[in-house]
Structures are given as C-alpha cells and as structure tokens.
Structure 1
Amino acid sequence: MKTTPEHDARIAKMIFAGVYPHYVTKVEKKGRTKEELHQVIEWLTGFDAKKLKELIDEKVTFETFFAKAKLNPNAHLITGVICGYRIEEIETPLTKQARYLDKLVEELARGRKMEKILRQG
C-alpha cells in the first residue's frame, strides 16, 4: 500500500512533542516504562534523554526530528504492518522512519523482549 503525498506531508509536519505523550501512555498502560521507551528511541535515532527533551521543548516536527537523527544501521530490519502500511514498502524515507518508530513503540507496548525490539537476536 503506497502512501499518498498528503499522508507524507502530514507526517512531516506533525510535532513530535504532540505525539510523544501518546507513546508514553501507550507503553505505560501495558506495564512498560518511559525509560524503556527512551531506550528504544535512542536505539533508532541516537538521541539520549537530554537531546530528546531538547527536541520536545523545541516542538520540532517529525521532519526536523528525523533530519537530526542518526538512524540506526539496523533500522531496515524493522518490518511488518503498522497503521495499515507495510513498512518495507513505504517509499518516502521520512514516512518510513516515522513508521519505524511507531512499530518499535507498538512492539514495546505488546511486551516484546527488548533485545528483539532492538534487533539484537
């Protein structure tokens, strides 16, 4: 399923700080911690907790968030369906990166082991 230019533009302009609390709520409702969420985000983006807080405080868009990220070289191992889209078929890099993050948050909330989420075995 291809994403539309409108869909890609909407993701690019979304404010990370507006989505982040939903990530926290989603994982905490399932018994995971904010620290585990930060571990997953740091694995994907290279952002430590301090940098993450700066980006949230600056209210950066997903476009800026991922432009500043140093994407994990194993991010391509994140596959599957999220929000109705098969990640490996998404052509727009930014949309794919946002869906990588969504997929990792979903896996964390579903109780997947951390080493599996971080593609370590």
Structure 2
Amino acid sequence: MSKHPIFAMAFAKVYPMYVQKVERKNQSKNDVDRIICWLTGYDQAGLEAQIEKQVDFATFFGEAPSMHPNCHLIKGVVCGVRVEEVEDPLMQKIRWLDKLIDELAKGKKMEKILRE
C-alpha cells in the first residue's frame, strides 16, 4: 500500500493555509497555534521550530510530544471522510487537525473545539 503524498509534504507549506483559512473568517493565527499545540503537545517554541525546520507531516506528528488524551473525541466529516473512521493513524491525526481548523473557521467556541 503506497503512502499518501501529504505524509511527505512540509507542514510549513500547509500551516499558512490553515492561518489564511481562519483569518478570512475573522479568527486569529494565535487560535490556530493554540489548537495545534493542544492537539500535539508542542509548546509555541516547539511548533515554531518544526515550522522553521520544514519537517514533513510524518515527522511533525511523529515528533509531537504527546497527542491530547481527548483527541479521540474529535468526530465529524472532513473532505467527505468521517475522521473517527480513518484507519491510518497518521492520516487520522492530519484529519483531526483539519477538522479542528474547520471548526475554528466556522466560528465554533474554543472550549468546544478543544473538547473541554
């Protein structure tokens, strides 16, 4: 089974697209960073270091300090796929992040996005 091309894509290439998506909806880059740090366990310096190093998605999630214990509560559809049914663990993490960014762009309250 071949690996999906996004696994080798630089996280730093997609990150600005996440920011642009939410800024178009009057949300902030700080909120994007907060979501990413919540999900992955990176602190702000760690997130910025990964972006600076131009790591791919596989490395970004592979080096993540710890996925949030409530990430299993992320449910819904992204690109026509239910995130809770994604079988590949790396693809599921990417879809979780996509889902959280979508929720932010749609104006969902941060407490609900972070499953608090």
**TM-score (ref. length: structure 2):** 0.95
Aligned residue in 2 for 1:24:
19
Q: Which residue of 1 aligns with 2:86?
A: 90
Residue segments in structure 2 that go unaligned for 5+ positions in a row: none
Give the 4+ runs in structure 1 shifted more than 4 A.
Answer: none
1:58 Cα deviation from its structure 2 partner: 0.5
1:96-115 correspondence runs (5 A): 96-115=92-111
SS at the partner of 1:79? coil
Report matched runs for 1:1-121 at 5 Å: 5-6=1-2, 8-69=3-64, 70-120=66-116
Of all paired residues, the percent bearing the same amino acid is 51
> Quick one: which amino acid aligns to residue 62 of structure 1?
F
Distance 2:81 2:27 in 1: 25
How many pairs were matched up? 115
Give the superposition deviation at 1:85: 0.9
CA RMSD of aligned residues (A): 1.0
TM-aligned CA deviation for residue 108 of structure 1: 0.5
Give TM-score scaled by structure 1 length: 0.91
Given that 1:11 and 1:98 are in contact with CA atoms closer than 8 Å, whether structure 2 keeps it comes out as no
SS in 2 for 1:97: helix
Shift of residue 9, structure 1, vs aligned partner:
2.3
Looking at structure 1, the residues matched to 77 and 9 of structure 2 have their Cα atoms a distance apart, in angstroms, of: 21
